[in-house]
Structure 1
């Protein structure tokens, strides 16, 4: 009983974040059921919910918490290198604090993903898409090809955010100013709903 209460209050006693996540997860479950094996119309509102959920999945996994923890630790080390005598304290790198930080960042930056267009890639091969406990992948082919960079931010030009929704369907969110999508309809802020997606869909500059 006590453990349950602790879990319920994890993001704060007003439960505002928990309630928000419950709504978001419910919307996602309904959309996934609608998509089924890759058929079905996706509205602009549902596209917004999908973008939001895939960004949430990128932000709140154990790997996301580890990325944030490692980043803060490295920044602290760099900031105090050669000046340890002047250190007044150390950052709070507790697991709970890091989770709260990544969730705060998610809530502050989730609007950035709404500038991305989305496509659903339908898998017609004999091998299904594979997922993991860190299912969403943030990449930037534009930045990687131009600068050789291996990291990117959600608001960077050329960003791509990808996550399998099922063994048959993967969601790709991408910067429409950086990529051309061929052989597919695209859901944007004002684009039409889409029904089917061809496996030949590809990105090009």
Structure 2
């Protein structure tokens, strides 16, 4: 199962994209959380501390992590049951990337990768670590994309305006490119004040990049 952090990252799952950072959140999401518990490295409670809710990022820019064939699209693991009934909703497409060149666009809904339907369980233990709170079609798409090899041509079946279409995509290594997301407005001054109040140890906190296809 994914950790809570993993679930948060799943809010913007990307087939070849990654959203990182902590500044891009609406001001309301940066308010202190009264129902929290702070502890030090030894697990001892810290009095008079403040917690802040982890923001949900809509979009931002980040590099593609690692060298691996990728489709160059983004999908949302929390897309909801309505979209789950249709497939994996494409939230963004890297311009001039593999999927873009094949004719796939934002708001298309992917239903099949080669012979693998996103509505049917994957073989073996491929779904062993799936998060049941997240979209199964999206997680299946991500799992299938992770298995791509250099030079593989992939037939992608998708819906556009209710009409089924197919496209042949040649995945590419996109590690030298970045993926652009739109970010919501946030209160810069409030964020700076919060950062000034953070313990120095927290400033050294390191993000761990998830293994996204």
Relative to total residues, which structure has the larger helix share, 1 or 2?
Answer: 1
Tell which has more relative contact order, 1 or 2 (C-alpha 8 A, sep 6+): 2
Relative to total residues, which structure has the larger strand share, 1 or 2?
Answer: 2
TM-score by length of 2: 0.24
